[in-house]
Amino acid sequence: MSVKSIFSKTALLKLAIILPSFILLTVSCSNDDNDNGGNGKEEINLNKNEITTDKAVTRLEFPRLKGGNSIVLIYRTKGDKQYDKDEINYCVEWDCSKKSQRWSCYQMHQGYTGNYSRVTDSYHNDTNLDSEYYWAEDYYYGSGYEHGHICPNADRKFSYDANYQTFYMTNMQPQYHKFNGYTNSGQDQGEGLWVRMEDQVRSWTPRAKTDTLYVCKGGTIDNEDQIISRIQGKLIVPKYFFMACLLKNSEGYRAIGFWAEQKKDEWRTDDPLSLYAVTIDRLEELTGIDFFCNLPDDTENKVESSIAIKAWGLK
């Protein structure tokens, strides 16, 4: 049953719709909340997401939510509860006016590994989202752009459903082949910069059961100077793509960002990824997004202000 068949368009942006593997919600952001972490020390957090309908928005992978005409899509599927009691696959901030996603966020740990890979070669509209808020046609085909996964199917191999959900159009952004793809034939050989970044982030998946990598990725849709074009005057093509990563392990927290312009005619296969590494503070300046807002302010300020390139294994 679709959301549209239950609620009016006005109600859609005000209410939470809870379905077997999907949640749509609106949420406001706090500006004056304090949190006691249970260790006797008051932990101040002035910018964390405020729970209105689903506590998932307080998970560490979430940035601060934009609100307005943007909604949050939370995709759930059965998984290993010893790793994730919420059984969340990944989440999306969707701009209903632009009919485009701003980011996908998710966790990486051993609970997401498995053998399911690219279980479909087609791309699907999320039928639980009101059809008023997505394009009726798939404008990617014939446009010169590929369906670029933001949460990669290779990061969600633990079940058929989890892998299938990554093929929703709400998880896609238009990307050039030489940014998003690869080839091993002919003279024009290479591997796209985005693919290399995805491989690098995947390699950071913690092996310890208690450790987690928190990831938020997307393309720029909010500023005209950060947009290449609109396919048929409709579907936004981001000029820049970003990744924000936060690792929690026995040593504490550390964070790193990636920022890259997508280019049509360059593989950039030999570029060191360190060329595209930035602090989270810098990434926030470039995107206007407040990443990892659910961390206590002291911790957030510390991990977002610097990066340790060698600690991340970059050259």
Please, what's the b/e burial string for 227-246 (b: 16 or more CB within 10 A of its CB; e: otherwise)? bbeebeeebbbbbbbbbbbb
Q: Is the pLDDT of residue 26 over 60?
A: no
Report pLDDT for 186: 72
Predicted local confidence at residue 37, as pLDDT: 42
Q: Which residue has the higher pLDDT, 21 or 280?
A: 280
Q: What is the mean pLDDT of residues 287-299?
A: 98
What pTM did the predictor assign? 0.88
The 3-state DSSP class for residue 51 equals coil
Q: 194 - beta bridge partners?
A: none
Q: Give the residue among 145, 200, 149 at the shortest CA–CA distance from 178.
A: 145
The confidence score (pLDDT) of residue 17 equals 33
18: which 2 tokens?
A: 């809870």
Please give the pLDDT value at position 13: 37
pLDDT (mean) for 65-72: 96
Name every residue whose Cβ is closer than 8 Å to that of residue 88 and which is 6 or more positions away in sequence.
Answer: 56, 59, 74, 75, 76, 106, 107
Query: Which is more confident, 24 or 13?
Result: 24
- Active-site residue list: 149
DSSP code, position 48: P
CA-CA distances (angstroms) from residue 104 to 14, 82, 109, 185, 222?
21, 23, 17, 32, 15
Joined tokens for residue 278? 């930035």
- Is 131's pLDDT higher than 70? yes
State how far the Cα of 199 lies from the Cα of 106, in Å rounded to an integer. 15
99 falls in which pLDDT band (50, 70, 90)?
very high
pLDDT of residue 41: 64
Which domains occur in the chain, in start order? Answer: 9-312 (3.40.570.10)
Residue type, 36: N
Return the pLDDT at 190. Answer: 87
pLDDT, position 4: 32
Known binding residue 180? Answer is yes
Task: Write out pLDDT tens, residues 138-178.
Answer: 999 999 999 999 999 999 999 999 999 999 999 999 999 99
For 96-140, list the strands marked E by DSSP: 100-108
User: What's the full length of the chain, in residues?
Assistant: 315
Amino acid at 2: S
